[in-house]
Amino acid sequence: MTVGVAALFVPGLNIIAAGAIAGALTSGGLSVFSQKSQKGSVDWWSVLGNTAVGAATGAAGGGAAMWTKSIIAGAPAGQAAAAIGVSAGANGVVGAGAGAASYLYQNGWRINNGWDFAGKTAGSGFAGAVGGLAGPAGGSLARGMSLSSTGMVAKAGTMAISGVGAGTGSMLENVVAGKPIDPVKAGATGLFGAGAAAIPVGRIPAFNQTGVSTLRQMPYFAPRTLNGMFNYNQTNTVGLWGGAFGGGTVGFGGDQLQSALGW
């Protein structure tokens, strides 16, 4: 912990360290609270494992935040963060709704366990939020290599980021539900998420935003206000929600396929 606190004051490491500490505290805290509420006792080995994974994913999130900050450094102040927030919010809400619907469908439209339901909703929401940003992030990765933001490398980056988001969402689902993180389940969900990102729904105009193939373009062309988020006279607002619902539908279908396969 002393090393982690010291890293908060090292330029370049402070965001990563803060992410690791926040991830560890959040994951460990949720695990303890969920287990105590459901069982009246706590499996501390499970909490330790979930805390370690939370620290690792939090550090990775901090690194991603640093990279994103460097990408959008030249964008108008505040507008880039607003555009990213709107996209993550819309896709996260739709993803959470799809996760909730998936749980209900698999349980005869009943909530048999509130913690399991909350875990599925939270995990799917996280995966949706990351998936909504995966396209521009993949394009930004490719542009950083002086390659096309819509080419094969960009698509591979989008698939990888979507897969990481889906896998992390699976881990979050288990943490909220008070269960140990299942690496096999998280890996399988990540593979499904990456594969889903390869489905070319973006070729359909209603599922795609025009001129938003990189993070740097988002503050100029993507919706970035609450009003813009719901102004369906704007082409990219339609694309924002179309892409979100398209992703949610694919996620719902993927859940059913995983369930049928026993994953």
Tens of pLDDT along the chain (263 residues) come to: 444 444 444 445 577 777 788 878 888 888 888 888 888 888 888 888 878 877 888 787 777 777 777 777 777 767 888 999 999 999 999 999 999 999 999 999 999 999 999 999 999 999 999 999 999 999 999 998 999 998 999 999 999 999 999 999 999 999 999 988 898 999 999 999 998 888 776 667 677 888 899 999 998 899 999 898 999 888 799 999 999 998 899 889 988 988 888 77
Give pLDDT, residue 237.
93
What ranges do the domains of the chain cover?
1-71, 79-261
Q: What is the pLDDT of residue 41?
A: 85
pLDDT at 64: 79
pLDDT of amino acid 202: 62
8 A C-beta contact, residue 215 and residue 140: yes
Quickly list DSSP for the chain: -HHHHHHTTSTTTHHHHHHHHHHHHHHHHHHHHHHHHHHSS--HHHHHHHHHHHHHHHHHHHHHHHHHHHHTTTSPTTHHHHHHHHHHHHHHHHHHHHHHHHHHHHTTT--S-HHHHHHHHHHHHHHHHHHHHHHHHHHHHHHHTT--TTSHHHHHHHHHHHHHHHHHHHHHHHHHTT----HHHHHHHHHHHHHHHTS-GGGSGGG--TT-SSGGGHHHHS--SHHHHT-TTSHHHHHHHHHHHHHHHHHHHHHHHHHHHT-
pLDDT at 13: 55
